Amino acid sequence: MRGCFIAANYGWTVVCIVLAIALARTATIFGLGHVVLEGAFVATLARGEWRRRDVLTRRRSG
């Protein structure tokens, strides 16, 4: 369960890259920019989750 969000975010990043490449000739600059920026944002989330995975998965006593 630890890496589910990380894997999902990196997977979505790959989807965004594939979409950007596939739609590069037909998409508007705004649409293409949206897909590219979304991929960059989600990749940044995944990287942050990976770097802080121990803190994020620590069990709280209580």
What are the DSSP calls for 7-55, one per residue? HHHHHHHHHHHHHHHHTTTTS-HHHHHHHHHHHHHHHHHHHHHHHTHHH
Burial class, 59, CB count within 10 angstroms (exposed 0-12 / middle 13-18 / buried 19+): exposed
- Kindly report, residue by residue over 8-53, the tens digit of the pLDDT: 999 999 999 999 999 999 999 999 999 999 999 999 999 999 999 8
Write down the domain spans for the chain.
Answer: 12-54
Model confidence at 1, in pLDDT bands (50, 70, 90)?
low
pLDDT at 22: 97
pTM: predicted TM-score of the whole model, two decimal places: 0.82
Bigger pLDDT: 56 or 12? 12
